[in-house]
């Protein structure tokens, strides 16, 4: 039995359609692969430089607002004001929102947050976490927020800083304190308190 002209035409149309779809698909896949490679290269360029808040990227930036806080947040009083402290971050209630703030100098806590850094500076021990500097007080029973010691170097800053470049040097301003980028003795990028 001889195939009809309609079935041959139908077969040819189907074959041509399959061929066109596969060509378009291959071209589209090739373009997708090129675009993906281009995005990957751009992503590598963007992420090749460490951002100052890398270590604290899981924590809120200064000024972030929240309706509620974690149930384990502790209340700390200082100069008649109430602050909430959780996971190394201080919050202050303004209106109906809790704002992530820089803690005031002199505020005291019993325990440092997990992940704090010990820094020896000018023959004394300073403790650092999330933009806050502490020293031991009251026979090592408490930790008090102190002014950032000039010349001290830290590895990371909390998000919420402003950056400026002066004479080719990058500066970060956080909580009215200025840091400059420099390198540690091990060649690591660090941020040094200059003001």
> Which string of DSSP letters, residue by residue, matches 43-101?
HHHHHTSPPTTGGGTTSPPTT-EESS--TTPEEEEETTEEEEEETTEEEEEETTEEEEE
Q: What is the pLDDT of residue 183?
A: 87
pLDDT digits (tens, 9 = 90+) for 13-70: 565 555 555 555 555 454 555 554 444 444 443 333 567 788 888 999 999 999 999 9
Q: What is the pTM of this model?
A: 0.71
Task: Compute the average pLDDT of residues 148-162.
Answer: 93
Q: What is the pLDDT of residue 37?
A: 46
Degrees (nearest 5) of the Cα angle 136, 141, 146?
30
Distance CA 60, CA 82 (A): 19
In terms of Cα–Cα distance, which of 134, 92, 99 is closest to 113? 134
Task: Compute the average pLDDT of residues 99-120.
Answer: 94
- pLDDT above 70 (res 75): yes
pLDDT digits (tens, 9 = 90+) for 76-100: 999 999 999 999 999 999 999 999 9
Burial class (CB in 10 A: 0-12, 13-18, 19+), 119: middle
Distance CA 164, CA 101 (A): 22
Distance CA 44, CA 41 (A): 5
What is the distance of C-alpha 100 from the center of its chain? Answer: 14
Distance CA 123, CA 164 (A): 31
CA 178 to each of CA 15, 94, 102, 153, 181: distance values in angstroms, whole numbers, following the listed order:
70, 26, 14, 12, 10
- Which helix or strand (DSSP H or E) is residue 134 part of? strand 132-137
- Which helix or strand (DSSP H or E) is residue 171 part of? strand 169-174
SS3 161: coil
CA 44 to each of CA 4, 106, 155, 157: distance values in angstroms, whole numbers, following the listed order:
59, 42, 21, 22
Q: What is the pLDDT of residue 157?
A: 94
């Amino acid at each position: 039995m001889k195939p009809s002209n309609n079935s041959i035409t139908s077969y040819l149309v189907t074959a041509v359609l399959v061929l066109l779809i596969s060509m378009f698909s291959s071209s589209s896949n090739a373009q997708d692969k090129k675009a993906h490679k281009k995005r990957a290269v751009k992503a590598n360029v963007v992420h090749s430089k460490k951002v100052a808040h890398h270590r604290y990227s899981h924590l809120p930036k200064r000024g972030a607002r929240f309706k509620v806080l974690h149930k384990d947040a502790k209340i700390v009083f200082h100069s008649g004001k109430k602050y909430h402290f959780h996971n190394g971050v201080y919050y202050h209630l303004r209106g109906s929102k809790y704002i992530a703030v820089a803690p005031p100098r002199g505020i005291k806590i019993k325990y440092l947050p997990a992940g704090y850094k010990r820094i020896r500076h000018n023959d004394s021990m300073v403790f650092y976490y999330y933009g806050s500097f502490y020293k031991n007080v009251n026979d090592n029973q408490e930790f008090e927020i102190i002014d950032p010691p000039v010349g001290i170097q830290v590895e990371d800053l909390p998000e919420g800083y402003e950056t400026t470049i002066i004479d080719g040097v990058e500066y970060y301003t956080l909580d009215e304190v200025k840091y400059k980028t420099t390198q540690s003795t091990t060649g690591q990028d660090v941020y040094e308190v200059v003001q």
